[in-house]
Amino acid sequence: MRIIVQKFGGTSVVSPEVRELVLRKIEKARDQGFNPVVVVSAMGRQGAPYATDTLIDIARSAYKNIADRELDQIMCCGEIISAVIMAGTLQAAGMDAVMLTGGIAGIITDEHFTDARILKCDPTKIINLLKQGKVPVVCGFQGMTGENEFTTLGRGGSDTSASALGAALNADIIEIYTDVDGIMTADPRIVENAKILDCISYGEVCQLAHQGAKVIHPRAVEIAMQKNIPLVVKSTFSDAPGTLITNIAKADTAGSAVIDRVATGVTYLTNIVQVKVHLDDTMGTDASFKVFKTMADNGISVDLINIHPGEIMFTINADHAEKASIKLKRLNYEFEVVEHCAKVSVVGGGMREVPGVMASFIEALSRNKIAILQTVDSHTSISVLVLQSDVGAAVKSLHEKFGLSN
C-alpha cells in the first residue's frame, strides 16, 4: 500500500468552494495510486465562526482563566466540525470517507492539556479502513489521553497530527496544504519579495519554525525527520510544486543549491522581554544560579542567556514578565526589564564555518540604525534581540543583505 497523508489547514477548508479544491487534491493522489489519509484543521482563521481562536474566546467569555482541560474540550470541536464537513464533501463526490477524532485515529497523548505530547500513535484502525478502500478524514490538532480525555497538541498542531500519522503508517509522503505556495525565505507578510524555497533540510526548517516561522509546526518536522519521511508544504489554491523538506543529500539530488547558500531564511519572534540582573561581589558565588533556579522553579523558560561578571542578561516570553519581576524582587536583586523586544534570526545550514557572516549581519542592521540589544549564534543560525518596532526593518534588511531577495 502506498500511503500519502494530506493535511489541509484552516484556510483550505473554510468554504464549499475551497473544499472542492481539497477534493481535487485527494482525487489526484488516488489517481496516482496512493491511499490518502486526510487530516484537517478547524475551519478558517480568527473571526471565522468555528476557528480555534473563536472557540477560545467563547470559553474565556465565561471565565478569563478557564482551565486548560476545559479549553481543550472546546478547541477540539473546531477540528470535529471541520472533519465532519470534509468527510461529507468527499461522500458527496462518491468517496467512502470516514471521519475519525484524533483519539479514534490512534493518537494517544500525555495529560498536558493545550500542549500535549504524543506518547504513541496506533495506526491499526486507519490501516483497516484503507484496506477496505475507505478514506479516513482525521481531526488534526487533537489526541486522547489514556483516560479517554480529549487533548490538543499546541497551536498549529494539525501539522504534528499529520506527521505522527505519517510516521506510524510508514507513509511515502506527507503533504501539508496551506495558503502559500511553500516555505519562503521570509514571512511574506513582512517581505514582499520573499521567495519560495524548492527544498530545505529538516534541520533548517526546524530552526526556522522554532525561531518563529509559523508556516509549519517544528514538532511535525522532528517527527517526519526521525523516520526520514519527505514532507511537502504546498498550496491548496495552486498547482505549484511546493517546498520539499527532506535530508540534505536528497534535497541536493532534487537539484537545489541547498548546500551552496549561506542563508536559507530570515524569521522573527515577538512578545519577548529582556531581563538584566545586576550582580556584585557581595552577592556570593551562587547569585546567578539563584536567578535561573527561580525562573526554572516558576516554569519560566529563558533564552538568549549571557552571563558576565557584573550582569546576567536573558530573555523570557512577555506573558511571564510580571511573575519574573515579582520573584526577582523577592530575591532582593537589582534588575531591569526591557519591554517590547523581538528576536530576529537568519538560518542557514550553509553558514557553518563561513567567515564574514556575522560581519554582514551587523552591517545590515547598523546601516539601518537598528539597535542590537543582544546576540546569539550557532553553527547554522545567528539571532539578534531588537526592539519590536524594528522587526520589519531588521527582517527586510537581513533578507536583502543575505541575497535572499534576488
- Between residues 41 and 235, which has the closer beta carbon with respect to ligand ASP? 41
- Between residues 79 and 204, which has the closer beta carbon with respect to ligand ASP? 79
Answer yes or no: are the C-beta atoms of 73 and 148 closer than 8 Å.
no
Measured on CA atoms in the order 60, 62, 65, 68, is the torsion positive or negative? negative
Angle at 274 between CA 273 and CA 277, to 5 degrees: 135
Give the shortest CB-85-to-ligand ADP separation in angstroms: 16
Binding site for ligand ASP (CB under 6 A): 9-10, 41-42, 52, 78, 140-141, 155-159
214 binds ligand ADP (CB under 6 A): yes
**Site map 47..86 versus ligand ADP, x via CB under 6 A:** ----------------------------------------
How far from 398 is each of 143, 264, 267, 269, 374, CA to CA, in Å? 39, 11, 10, 15, 16
d(CA 283, CA 268): 36
Near Mg ion in 137-176, by CB under 5 A: 156
- Between residues 104 and 190, which has the closer beta carbon with respect to ligand ADP? 190
d(CA 17, CA 29): 19
Binding partner of residue 166 among ligand ADP, Mg ion, ligand ASP, none, CB under 5 to 8 Å per kind?
Answer: none
d(CA 211, CA 187): 12
d(CA 190, CA 193): 9
Number of residues that bind ligand ADP (CB under 6 A): 19
Binding partner of residue 11 among ligand ADP, Mg ion, ligand ASP, none, CB under 5 to 8 Å per kind?
Answer: ligand ADP
In eight-state DSSP terms, residue 372 is: P
Answer yes or no: are the C-beta atoms of 273 and 319 closer than 8 Å.
no
Give the shortest CB-180-to-Mg ion separation in angstroms: 11
Residue nearest to ligand ADP (CB): 9
Binding partner of residue 141 among Mg ion, ligand ASP, ligand ADP, none, CB under 5 to 8 Å per kind?
Answer: ligand ASP
Contacts of 61 (CB under 8 A, 6+ apart): none
Binding site for ligand ADP (CB under 6 A): 9-12, 41, 156, 178-180, 183-184, 186-189, 213-215, 265
Binding site for Mg ion (CB under 5 A): 9, 156
